[in-house]
Amino acid sequence: MVFKRRDRRPIWQIVLDFIYPRGGWARAFEYVKHRVRRLPDTPEKISRGIAVGVFASFTPFYGLHFVIAALLAQVMRGNILAALLGTFFGNPLTYIPIGVAALSMGHLLLGRPFNAAIFGFGDRAAEFCGLGCRFGNAFSDITHNFIAMFTPARADWHGLAQFYHELFLPYMVGGIIPGILCGAGAYYICVPLISVYQKRRRKVLRDKLSQLNKKPEITGDDSPR
């Protein structure tokens, strides 16, 4: 196919590029900012798209942030491409603070104590089943229970239930408030910035167009004698 990559990247390279892009995170953010500024839409609609993209990054549905952002952009009448770009607010540099904020807020709203040892913080972190342990137990339950469908083994949902009640549900509930706050902040910051940029860009384009439309002045008589 015409648009296929000629050099197919191995899986490890894809994972590495996701964690740390080849040009660095500064260049990646600069690219996103450049694309957002050049979107052909109103500042309000672009900013609404960015806002819902930021909000989507606070949800625990990893791998589906693009889908959630696109659906929310349609509901909120925002720019869909801006929403997809807005999900880059959630990245390996921000996932830990987002997770801490969402989980602590979720445990607070649900009336449960939040143990920071789940992220490896605190004196007893080594004795506590942390984030990786909970994911591992949930995945182990899914694998075991799938095999149990075809063998005499008994299904066990303990690890998955613990993951849901202590991680997924608090994350989903707790991500709503900080997600709305950060999304609203992104909206009110982006509207004037995009508006100023678009006005400046239109002025530059008008100046270039006026220069192209200017006819060269005839300084002498070039007619044949």
Q: 25: how many CB neighbours lie within 10 A of its CB?
A: 14
In a domain, 150, yes or no: yes
Contacts of 184 (CB under 8 A, 6+ apart): 51
In a domain, 153, yes or no: yes
In a domain, 201, yes or no: no
| Residues 190-217 as b or e (16 or more Cβ within 10 Å = b) | bbeebeeebeeeeeeeeeeeeeeeeeee
In a domain, 15, yes or no: no
In a domain, 143, yes or no: yes
Give residue-wise pLDDT tens across range 195-211: 888 888 878 777 777 77
Average pLDDT on 11-28 reads 53
Our count of domains for the chain comes to 1
DSSP state of 167: I
Give residue-wise pLDDT tens across range 59-75: 999 889 999 999 999 99
Q: Are 69 and 86 in contact (CB under 8 A)?
A: yes
DSSP state of 40: S
Side-chain half-sphere exposure of 25, counting CA atoms within 13 A:
11
3-state secondary structure of 87: helix
Task: Quote the tokens at residue 40.
Answer: 């052909």
Average pLDDT on 13-27 reads 53
Q: How far is CA 39 from CA 12, 66, 75, 80, 189, in A?
A: 33, 18, 19, 10, 17
In a domain, 31, yes or no: no
Q: Are 158 and 141 in contact (CB under 8 A)?
A: yes
In a domain, 219, yes or no: no
Give residue-wise pLDDT tens across range 91-116: 878 888 898 899 989 999 998 887 76
Task: Quote the tokens at residue 89.
Answer: 């607010």
Q: What is the chain's percent helix, strand, coil content, to nearest 5?
A: 70, 0, 30
pLDDT-derived band at 19 (thresholds 50, 70, 90) equals very low
Range of the domain at 179: 39-196
Number of residues assigned to the chain: 225
In a domain, 132, yes or no: yes
C-alpha 43/C-alpha 192 separation (Å) is 8
